[in-house]
């Protein structure tokens, strides 16, 4: 019935049961309870400081809120859908426990600024956890790079063998991806860590609230500067989900390579058994299901991003009930990226490269052709001409069934008199990777320097 609602004074009829089911959010927003109570405690302390509540009233309300938190943590709290959301459930329980004084909790506050505060507190905590997980994954890539520094593998463009590279260099490429992800989250955190509390419904409040005080109590770095924007802003939610989507995209790229590398056709790595599954019919199978599911779950996080952007795109200022739909995609994106980071970190830590197989494949596909073109260019041949000459050499090798490393100096000279005896020194994988000494290159010297630089910077 309407009179049982905390907002029901204006209504003559009770809410239809179907509307109760359609509009409730407590089934999922109850996970915000610790943040809702933390925000309420800070609000009460501020109301006491401002003389709006007496010390006795404040103590009674805070004691009640802490007892409710304990009930929730013990799993004893009775969540009621008819009370709509986490806020109303907690406030109703508070008034049941402490009496009419519990109704003073909402003085100078609306559910609009309350939920915005709760979500920001939640996102702030989750981002910090994601940053820790990202660091753990980066550490795993650096460990792989350091432990396998001499392993040479083929580098690819268009999924065709292109040039030999160090396996360590490949691992550090993923380090850079996830380093950027961390930087995105750190930047997002600056916009998350702003307190909307005290903005009330949309216009602020006539009560003499100290917004800076509550912000400080809750660990916010600043307060919002416009009450209308404060209660309707969900940019930080969309931005957080975007950051999650980027992490999943990078994990999906990693997964794709691990799936390929673990096939018999590539046979570059051995994945840890604990993160693979078997077949119900084929006893020989070892399937990279975790990597496949990572690739698949990327789509659901993309869906979360499209969901929040679509929800926000047509909303007039200020608060609209549509914003209730921000939480499920946010929760899903965060939950998905966290478990994906955890399992993929363990995969990276446990996978073992097959050095001999990688080396064997690195020598195929005329992977040293670019070294020959660079050789001629250093001898004064315009690079485009050098490119053409080496292309003819490759065609010659294909006709003769040879590799570039099998050619004699005389055969090289048939294509250019710039070739001399020292060209044979280039025809090794070690020589090729060692020559890439530019900053960011794949030479062992540069890769080792990069590992040391990262370890010092990250504290690994």
Tokens 């916010």 sit at which residue?
220
State how far the Cα of 405 lies from the Cα of 163, in Å rounded to an integer.
Answer: 14
Angle at 331 between CA 330 and CA 337, to 5 degrees: 90
Q: Is 405 a catalytic residue?
A: no
**Residues 367, 345 share a domain:** no
Based on the fold, state whether residues 233 and 93 are members of the same structural domain: no
Instruction: Tell me the per-residue pLDDT of 112-150, one tens digit each, with 9 for 90 and over.
Output: 999 999 999 999 999 999 999 999 999 999 999 999 999
Asked if residue 401 belongs to a domain, the reply is yes
Look at residue 109 and tell me whether its pLDDT is greater than 90: yes
Residues 337 and 206 grouped into a single domain: yes
pLDDT at 315: 97
Residue 157 domain-assigned (yes or no): no
The pLDDT of residue 2 is above 50: no
User: What average pLDDT score do residues 293-315 get?
Assistant: 98
Cα angle 31-36-37, degrees, rounded to a multiple of 5: 110
Range scoring the smallest mean pLDDT among 6-20, 163-177, 258-272, 405-419: 6-20
Q: Are 120 and 195 in contact (CB under 8 A)?
A: yes
CATH number for position 39: 1.10.275.10
- 313 φ, ψ (degrees, to nearest 5): -65, -25
Q: Is 158 a catalytic residue?
A: yes
Catalytic residue among 25, 43, 55, 158: 158
Strands 194-195 and 222-223: parallel
Domain holding 304, by residue range, is: 112-152+166-360
Q: Residues 40, 169, 255, 279: which is the catalytic one?
A: 279
The 10s digit of each residue's pLDDT in 408-439 is 999 999 999 999 999 988 888 998 999 999 99
CATH number for position 403: 1.10.40.30
pLDDT above 80 for 14: no
Spatial contact of 268 and 153, defined as CB atoms under 8 Å apart: yes
Write the CATH number for 297: 1.20.200.10
169 CB neighbour count, 10 Å cutoff: 24
Mean pLDDT of the 147-160 span: 96
The model's confidence at residue 19, banded by pLDDT at 50, 70 and 90, is confident
119-123, 190-194, 299-303, 364-368, range with the lowest pLDDT: 364-368
User: Which pLDDT score, from 0 to 100, does residue 212 have?
Assistant: 98
Q: Do residues 180 and 306 share a domain?
A: yes
The answer to whether position 324 is within a domain reads yes
In a domain, 332, yes or no: yes
The pLDDT, as a whole number, for residue 6 is: 60
Helix (H, G, I), strand (E, B), or coil: what is residue 159?
A: coil
Number of domains the chain contains: 3
Any domain includes 161: no
Q: Does residue 98 sit in the same domain as residue 144?
A: no
Strand, helix or coil for residue 221: coil
In terms of domains, do 318 and 436 share one? no
Q: Specify if 229 maps to a domain.
A: yes
**In the predicted structure, residue 168 carries a pLDDT above the cut 60:** yes
Same domain, 194 and 342: yes
One domain, residues 241 and 344: yes
Q: Judging by DSSP bridges, how do beta strands 269-270 and 352-353 pair with one another?
A: antiparallel
């Amino acid at each position: 019935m309407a009179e049982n609602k905390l907002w029901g004074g204006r209504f003559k009829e009770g809410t239809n049961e179907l509307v109760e089911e359609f509009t409730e959010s407590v089934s999922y927003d109850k996970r915000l309870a610790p943040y809702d109570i933390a925000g309420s405690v800070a609000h009460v302390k501020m109301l006491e400081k401002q003389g709006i509540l007496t010390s006795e009233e404040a103590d009674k309300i805070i004691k009640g809120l802490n007892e409710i938190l304990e009930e929730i943590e013990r799993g004893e709290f009775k969540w009621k859908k008819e009370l709509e959301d986490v806020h109303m459930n907690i406030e109703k329980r508070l008034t049941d426990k402490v009496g009419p004084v519990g109704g003073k909790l909402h003085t100078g506050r609306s559910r609009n600024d309350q939920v915005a505060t709760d979500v920001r507190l939640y996102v702030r905590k989750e981002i910090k956890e994601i940053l820790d997980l990202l660091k753990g994954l980066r550490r795993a890539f650096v460990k792989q790079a350091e432990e396998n520094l001499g392993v040479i593998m083929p580098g690819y463009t268009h999924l065709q063998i292109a040039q030999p590279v160090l396996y360590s260099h490949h691992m550090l490429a993923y380090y850079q991806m996830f380093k950027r992800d961390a930087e995105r989250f750190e930047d997002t955190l600056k916009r998350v860590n702003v307190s909307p509390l005290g903005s009330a419904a949309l216009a602020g409040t006539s009560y003499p609230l100290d917004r800076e005080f509550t912000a400080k109590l809750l660990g916010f770095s600043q307060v919002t500067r416009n009450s209308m924007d404060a209660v309707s802003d969900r940019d930080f939610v969309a931005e957080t989900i975007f950051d999650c989507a980027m992490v999943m995209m990078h994990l999906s790229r990693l997964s794709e390579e691990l799936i390929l590398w673990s096939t018999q056709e590539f046979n570059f790595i051995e994945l840890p058994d604990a993160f693979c599954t078997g077949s119900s019919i084929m006893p020989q199978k070892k399937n990279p299901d975790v990597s496949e599911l990572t690739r698949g779950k990327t789509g659901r996080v993309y869906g979360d991003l499209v969901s929040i952007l679509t929800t926000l795109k047509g909303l007039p200022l200020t608060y609209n009930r549509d914003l209730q739909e921000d939480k499920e995609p946010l929760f899903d994106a965060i939950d998905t990226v966290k478990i994906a980071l955890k399992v993929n970190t363990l995969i990276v830590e446990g996978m073992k490269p097959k050095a001999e197989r990688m080396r064997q494949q690195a020598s195929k596909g005329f992977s040293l052709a670019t070294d020959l073109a660079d050789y001629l260019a250093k001898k004064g041949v315009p690079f485009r001409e050098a490119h053409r000459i080496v292309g003819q050499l490759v065609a010659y090798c294909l006709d003769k069934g040879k590799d570039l490393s099998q050619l004699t100096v005389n055969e090289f000279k048939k294509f250019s008199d710039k070739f001399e005896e020292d060209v044979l020194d280039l025809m090794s994988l070690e020589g090729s990777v060692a020559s890439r000494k530019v900053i960011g290159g794949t030479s062992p010297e540069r890769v080792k320097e990069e590992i040391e630089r990262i370890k010092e910077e990250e504290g690994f």
